[in-house]
Amino acid sequence: MPRLPSPAESFYLRSHRLNESLGGPKRIRLPDLVLKELSQRRHRYYCVSKHLQEHPNLSALELGFGSPEIAAALASLVRSYHIVDVVDRRGDSNLPDNVPFTQADLNHDFPFSDDQFDCTIAMMVIEHLFDPFQSFCEIARITRRGGKVLINLPNIGSFRCRLQLLGGRIPITSSRDWFEKREWDGNHLHYFTVSETIRIAAKYGLTLDSVHSVGNHLWLKDLRPSLFCHEISFAFSKR
């Protein structure tokens, strides 16, 4: 008898199918062109590409990987680039040999050994998982001591979200058409601020190295990321 999907798998699979149907034809770009885009300072993956270019030959893992295109590009910088997700979103992409895929529900313990990876990456993922404490605990567990953790999260403390709440509206931390898609704020289950992200990371032995502003108008966002950034990338080291 075939195994029925868990409620979490069904939840994420519906979102994946919806976004696939709305996405239209996929562009296929060479890894060098993708890396050029990721290396722009306004990109959420900027801190990832920067770290992997400066530290070649690492073993990296991306949780809920962003796209096969991004995975293939970043894999060119490392010894191995593992990807894991509850839904297999590789499609018919021809990923490099050093990109193994694991299908797993990240709401459970991660299917990896202690201290397995030099670098663990979670770009716009943790806000979709049920328990942030469990997520940060598992991220710290599978990252080796001295390794790097790179995380991107929406910032509900941003000026934009504060204005929306002041106006009696739900702060939007995802796409604006979330209501039409029937995805409550883009299926974001939790909200984060800069201070609380640093606080929960420290609980599990992750020390903040840097905060990276994302998007346009970086001159303003860099003045006070916690107020002017709608999303932020964090770089932590495991003590």
- The terminus-to-terminus CA distance of the chain in angstroms comes to 46
Q: Is residue 43 part of a domain?
A: yes
218 lies in a domain? Answer: yes
pLDDT tens digits, 10-60: 777 776 666 665 554 455 577 889 999 999 999 999 999 999 999 999 999
Q: Which two tokens stand for residue 86?
A: 């509850």
Confidence of residue 219 (pLDDT cuts 50, 70, 90): very high
Q: Is 49 part of a structural domain of the chain?
A: yes
| Helices 194-203 and 132-142, axial angle in degrees (round to 10) | 50
pTM listed for this prediction: 0.90
CA 20 to each of CA 16, 109, 147: distance values in angstroms, whole numbers, following the listed order: 6, 28, 34
200 domain residue, yes or no = yes
Token pair of 135, please? 């997520």
Tell whether 1 is covered by a domain.
no
Query: Cβ(8)–Cβ(130) under 8 Å?
Result: yes
> What confidence score (pLDDT) does residue 87 get?
84
Q: Is residue 37 part of a domain?
A: yes
Higher pLDDT, 99 or 28: 99
How wide is the angle at C-alpha 141 spanned by C-alphas 213 and 174, nearest 5°? 35
Q: How many domains, the chain?
A: 1
198 has which bridge partners? none
Higher-confidence residue of 90 and 133: namely: 133
Q: Give the closest residue to 83 by CA, choosing from 69, 108, 103, 97.
A: 103
* Residue at 206 is within a domain: yes
Q: What is the CATH number of the domain that holds 138?
A: 3.40.50.150
Whether residue 45 lies inside any domain: the answer is yes
Domain span at residue 105? 7-20+28-238
Strands 80-85 and 59-63: parallel
